[in-house]
Structure 1
Amino acid sequence: MTGERYRASLNDGREVWLDGEKVANVATHPAFRGAVDELARLFDLQHDPDLRDVLTVHEPEAGTRVGWSYQLPRTLDDLRARRRSTGVWMRESWGQHGRSPSFMANVAVGLLDFREHLECNQAGFGANAVAFYRHCAANDLVLGHALGDPQIDRTTSPVDDPDLALRIIAERDDGVVVRGAKQLTTLAPLAHEVLVYLSASFAQREAEQFVIWFGLPLATPGVKILCREPLGARPYGHAHALASRFDEQDAMLFFDDVLVPWDRVFLLRDGNLARVGLGRINAWSAAAGHIRYQERLRTLLAVGTLLADAIGASGLRHVQEDLGELASYVDLVGYFLDAGEARAETTDGGLLAPGNTDASRVWSAQVAGRAVEIVRRIGSSGVLMQPSERDLAAADLRPYLDRYMRGANLPVEEKSRLFRLAWELTADSFGQRQDLYEFVHRGDITRNRINLLRRDDLGPVTDQIRELITRPL
């Protein structure tokens, strides 16, 4: 993919809605243009002679050169090369692209790896997964995924109210017809295709109509994309350097009796298989998520350090302690990535997958808010009150700004820009969205903790304790 091809590919007739109006062309609309241009820039990096071999590789299964995230890993060197490649994507986006093309390409790899299980669900589904992977990899497509069900009424079941979940309403010779909605499909207006999966909570027999995995172009008739309010456009002079480039958008997808052709269906009416498959197909994307999160934490640490320097607070013991805590988070994510590689195992699909580091998902969600809080506390009220570029250019104001709003080691213009970056990362709508994303995108933290508890084998130590308390201590 090149940047030019990417921009052109989004003008495909998709039905995108923003603030009550239908968007004619996502690539040129002011609400999306900055994010589109940023993704286009990242695609062009794949053609940079200095980065070509870092970002792309020949993959026999796809029959062409592909991005490393679409490569099928068979060795530890493959996993490490994928880590280096994803690291470039994530550093270039300051760790702000949660659902970057690099992330979702890994899910397509996972789908292919799970092909034999899908084939057992229904003849042809495994082959469909392979064909979907080849199509996405060979064309270097941007994928979104639709997982969550609408938040309507958590006290009842979709069996009683079918609108609570996407459902199958008909099976025909040419495919399956689905009706309903999927909530919070990140990157939907900027992606080429959407992968719909999860369905793991609908294992009971009467809920089988809600269990389906499939992939579709977002321009498919009947698919409507409702976007949330953009976070990068503002009417006044405060620049939003991050939101204007990295607001990857979140959307509701409405499926208005959409036909999913049989060759695009991967799993049908098997909640237990969906539950098993959920972890399997995300084995590589989970590692990509860690790489991205490490870059986000590194960005927060760097901004926090510069804030402290700018106001002469870097020598304060409590500030050093807080920044040291944030530095430990950066290192710990690296340890999780190392552990995944050290525990790597070959799957029954024949690929080498990073080892299980489920505890890191719980830890990451737990510390996400604390990482933001550290930066916000260092900047304090200065994060809120900074002059705009037009303020800086106002001759009558400038003497006061130079005198009262400068930094300990920075002129006023650089200090104001630094603190506005901190505002974007920690406090404004973009920063709050990123913080919320860190908490929710790894799944329900309560469920994840319970799963860790149930999986941990405490038998030997509990037996030791039981034996110890059979006699006086």
Structure 2
Amino acid sequence: MTILDASARTGRGLLTGDRYREELADGRELYLDGERITDPARHPAFRPAVDTLADLLDLQHEPEHQDLLTYKDPGTGLRLARAYQPPRTLEELRLQRRSAEFWHAAAFGQHGRSPAFMASIAVGVHDFRHQLDRARPGFGANADAWYRHCATNDLVLSHALGDPQIDRSTDPVDDPDLALRVLKENDVGIVVRGAKQLTTLAPLAHEVLVYLSASFTQRRGEQFVVWFALPLNTPGLVTLCREPLGAEAWGHAHPLGARYDEQDAMLFFDDVLVPWDRVFLLRDGALARTGLARINAWSAYIGHVRYRERLRTLLATATLVAESIGVDGFRNIQEDLGRLASYAELTEIFLDAAEARATLTDGGLLAPGDTAASRVWSAEVADGAVDVLRRIGASGLLMQPTEKDLAHPRLRPFLDRYMRGKDIDAERKSRLLRLAWELVGDGFGQRQHLYELVHRGDLARNRINLFKRYDQSEVRHRLEKLVSGPFPEASETAATSPAGPPEERP
């Protein structure tokens, strides 16, 4: 029995917020601004985001939410997070969606890499286990054991796909530091060296799943083809955080950034030993490319749930801002809001379509229908979605008083007179527009928008792939048949028209 098998058999079940906080202090090598962070849950840069995740995890234990957010695992008898349930029926797939809707509504659609998102990728790894095992016996069992280890301990996961941006014009075969690679194999496992970006949620997660992004090409050598998972406190694994985006400065509160900044990180693998029971795929580029779509089938679906909630948040905020300055009755403003409402509605339709087109996999699970086209659409409308709120708020998004400004006796009369809105006082209006600024203007808002543009992969490549696999055969056949012979002259067409020649028409 492997360590992962034993962990799955003795799993601790659903996380509580307190247990989650404690488990982050695991000795990982985590750095922020040149400082090693030993306890992320208690560090001021991470604490608000950790507390938000902890509060959401605690909701799993409340009786009124239990049946939606959790399920009873028949194998262990434990209650597990709904996101870890392998869906075998349409009802189970829809329960996964409703559970994710609950989570993302609580987070206003700002948690791109929520535990629900990554749990669905673990489900995908579990589903793909048979193909992994056919490629190399034992790898499928490893994947299944890792999934059960994550599910029965309710682990918060991250994933690492992208290579560092050093020199994209050079192939990693010529400069091995351009991509994570396998240095050697031994009786214990494999040794890997390199880096991965941009690993969202890594500083706040238990484990990271490492695999290849869609930018992987056939040219790369087999030493770059590897899938594995590791705890983030693995010796030799170094995590470097970017600048936090929710920190308060000069009294300006950041309620969204503080709560929902998931943190992004670089991971450095300094000759890290990956035990064999944590390796799922090795030196098989074709299987890696096939597996990428398979293991992400459910995460793409859950990603649409999150995007729907983000669009709903942008729409509601834009409407409130328009009302606060008295422009909600203007035709052009209503048109903009209608465009944003159409985006939110279409995302709902895409989810319904994914369910309607769901199919059984060879792993026995029900996978949502292909979401490739809707993912392309989502990236295409991302600019327009934030632009609606930005244009309605205009300069008002930039200049709003802080809570201390509002409390100042000298300033407050000016604020009440000159910074109020239509049927809204200066205090509420300032908070509303500061919230809007966070969504579309400040560092957090810009990071969230950039996430929408890049996290689904390169847009041009996705369009090309969609074009290449779209079935045009039937309409091409009809068109080719139409153009295979000479077109009739106009006079011949008129003579044979059911309506008769022009002179005979009434």
TM-score (norm: length of structure 2)? 0.92
Letter aligned with residue 471 of structure 1: P
Q: Can you list the C-alpha shifts for 1:307-341, whole angstroms capped at 9, x where unaligned? A: 00000000000000000000011110110100011
State yes or no: 1:392 paired with 2:409. Answer: no
Alignment of 1:84-233 (within 5 A): 84-198=98-212, 201-202=215-216, 204=218, 207-233=221-247
TM-fit CA distance, 1:202: 4.7
**Residues 202 and 208 in structure 1, CA contact (< 8 A), matched pair in contact too:** no
Alignment of 1:63-462 (within 5 A): 63-198=77-212, 201-202=215-216, 204=218, 207-462=221-476
**Residues 32 and 242 in structure 2, CA contact (< 8 A), matched pair in contact too:** yes
Residue of structure 1 equivalent to 2:55? 41
Distance in 2 between residues matched to 1:362 and 1:344, nearest whole Å: 19
Cα distance change on mapping 1:202 and 1:242 into 2, 3 Å: closer
Q: Which secondary structure state, in structure 2, belongs to the residue aligned with residue 129 of structure 1?
A: helix
Distance in 2 between residues matched to 1:355 and 1:328, nearest whole Å: 22
Q: Which secondary structure state, in structure 2, belongs to the residue aligned with residue 183 of structure 1?
A: strand
Letter aligned with residue 165 of structure 2: Q
**Residues 197 and 214 in structure 1, CA contact (< 8 A), matched pair in contact too:** yes
**More deviation, 232-241/137-146:** 232-241
State yes or no: 1:472 paired with 2:487. Answer: yes
**More deviation, 162-171/463-472:** 463-472
**Residues 172 and 220 in structure 2, CA contact (< 8 A), matched pair in contact too:** no
Q: Which secondary structure state, in structure 2, belongs to the residue aligned with residue 451 of structure 1?
A: helix
TM-fit CA distance, 1:203: 5.4
Cα distance change on mapping 1:468 and 1:206 into 2, 3 Å: closer
Count of matched residue positions in the alignment of Structure 1 and Structure 2: 473
Q: Can you list the C-alpha shifts for 1:198-221, whole angstroms capped at 9, x where unaligned? A: 256555476100000000000000
**Residues 129 and 143 in structure 2, CA contact (< 8 A), matched pair in contact too:** yes
TM-fit CA distance, 1:58: 1.0
Q: Which has the larger radius of gyration?
A: 2
Residue of structure 1 equivalent to 2:10? none
Alignment of 1:50-69 (within 5 A): 50-61=64-75, 63-69=77-83
Q: Which secondary structure state, in structure 1, belongs to the residue aligned with residue 116 of structure 2?
A: helix
**Residues 63 and 138 in structure 1, CA contact (< 8 A), matched pair in contact too:** no
Distance in 2 between residues matched to 1:82 and 1:216, nearest whole Å: 26
Q: Could you list the runs of 4 or more consecutive aligned residues of structure 1 that deviate by over 3 angstroms after TM superposition?
A: 199-206
**More deviation, 96-105/458-467:** 458-467
Identity %: 67
- Any gaps of 5 or more consecutive residues in structure 2? 1-14, 489-506
TM-score (norm: length of structure 1)? 0.98
Letter aligned with residue 152 of structure 1: I
TM-fit CA distance, 1:24: 1.9
TM-fit CA distance, 1:358: 0.9
TM-fit CA distance, 1:463: 2.7
Cα distance change on mapping 1:132 and 1:63 into 2, 3 Å: farther
- Any gaps of 5 or more consecutive residues in structure 1? none
Cα distance change on mapping 1:176 and 1:62 into 2, 3 Å: farther
Q: Which secondary structure state, in structure 2, belongs to the residue aligned with residue 408 of structure 1?
A: coil
Q: Which secondary structure state, in structure 2, belongs to the residue aligned with residue 12 of structure 1?
A: coil
Letter aligned with residue 43 of structure 1: L
Q: Can you list the C-alpha shifts for 1:44-82, whole angstroms capped at 9, x where unaligned? A: 000111101110001235652111110011100101111
**Residues 62 and 134 in structure 1, CA contact (< 8 A), matched pair in contact too:** no
Distance in 1 between residues matched to 2:41 and 2:24, nearest whole Å: 6
Q: Which secondary structure state, in structure 2, belongs to the residue aligned with residue 372 of structure 1?
A: helix
Cα distance change on mapping 1:206 and 1:183 into 2, 3 Å: closer
Letter aligned with residue 246 of structure 1: Y
